[in-house]
Amino acid sequence: MTRMQVKSGEHGLIRLFAIDPADEPPLMSTEPDWDADHTDPPWPLRDALGAEYLDSDFIEVFDVADLTGVGLPGYMIQGLGIPEQDIAPDRGRLDALTGHVLIVLSSAFGGFEQTLTPRTPLRWIGTWREEKAPIHFEPLPNPEPAPHLVPRGEKAEMTPHTRVLFAILALPILLLGLGGTLYALFLYLN
Q: By 3-state DSSP, what share of the chain in percent is helix, strand and coil, each rounded to 5?
A: 40, 15, 40
For residue 25, the model assigns a pLDDT of 56
Q: What is the pTM of this model?
A: 0.65
- What pLDDT does residue 133 have? 67
How many Cα atoms sit within 13 Å of 120 on the Cβ side? 3
Nearest to 51 by CA among 102, 90, 99, 12: 102
Q: Give the start-to-end residue ranges of the domains of the chain.
A: 4-129, 157-189
Note whether 14 and 80 are within 8 A (CB). Answer: yes
Asked if omega into 121 is within 30° of 0 (cis), the reply is yes
Q: Give the chain's residues under pLDDT 70.
A: 1, 22-41, 133-134, 140-151, 153-154, 156
Q: Per residue in 83-129, pLDDT tens?
A: 999 999 999 999 999 999 999 999 999 999 999 999 988 999 999 99
